[in-house]
Amino acid sequence: MPKRKIPEYQRKRLKEMSLFIKNWRLCENLSQREYSKLADTHINTLQRFETHKNNISVLTLFAFIDTMEGMTLSEFFAGME
């Protein structure tokens, strides 16, 4: 089965979310390994998401957000288009 084509505007949204998570992680001085462990996800999932090579499930996104020291969903998505 061929991969589903992701519209460009959705691709930009995914990139913005992954960059937000990566910047937060770096500001907190966390390695990918440390962050993925805190989020209870595999390091490869985080690496592929941060390099825009993979989409993640909404549950994985929630795990990443929950790891961000009590950040709410509205705070995470504030200012994103």
* Structural domains for the chain: 8-77 (1.10.260.40)
pLDDT, tens digit, 9 for 90 and up, residues 52-78: 888 899 999 999 999 998 899 999 999
Long-range contacts for 52-56 (Cβ within 8 Å, ≥24 apart)?
Answer: 52/11, 52/14, 52/15, 52/18, 55/6, 55/14
- pLDDT above 70 (res 2): no
Distance between CA 76 and CA 65 in Å, rounded? Answer: 7
Which residues have C-beta within 8 Å of that of residue 56, sequence separation ≥ 6?
45, 49, 64
Q: What is the pLDDT of residue 46?
A: 96
pTM for the model: 0.87
- pLDDT above 90 (res 20): yes
pLDDT bin (cut points 50, 70, 90) of residue 6 is confident
- pLDDT above 80 (res 1): no
Q: What is the pLDDT of residue 55?
A: 85
